[in-house]
């Protein structure tokens, strides 16, 4: 997805085509991988964690389609 080590919330929302509110809801419901605190007020996700999460989402969607 990205060459960056970390992806911040605004960028993640843009890449996934959802709002920041949706990212916040997904975080609270543990739908997304756990973010990492980059500072006291800044969080981000490791790009490898997001890539793995996207692969798992695609795999589960593929399994649903085949059923």
The pLDDT score that the predictor gives to residue 61 is: 64
How far apart CA 54 and CA 67 sit, in angstroms, is: 20
So what's the architecture of 6-66 in CATH? Orthogonal Bundle (1.10)
As given in the structure block, the two tokens for residue 13 are: 């929302």
pTM of the model: 0.80
pLDDT tens digits, one per residue of 12-58: 999 999 999 999 999 999 999 999 999 999 999 999 999 999 999 98
| pLDDT above 60 (res 2) | no
Q: Which residues of 8-38 are buried (b: 16+ CB within 10 A; e: fewer)?
A: ebebbbeebeeeeeebeebbeeeebbebeee
């Amino acid at each position: 997805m990205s060459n960056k080590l970390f992806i911040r919330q605004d960028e993640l929302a843009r890449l996934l085509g959802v709002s920041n509110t949706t990212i916040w809801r997904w975080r609270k419901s543990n739908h997304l991988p756990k973010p990492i605190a980059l500072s006291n007020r800044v969080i981000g996700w490791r790009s490898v964690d997001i890539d793995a999460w996207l692969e798992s989402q695609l795999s589960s969607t593929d399994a649903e389609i085949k059923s």
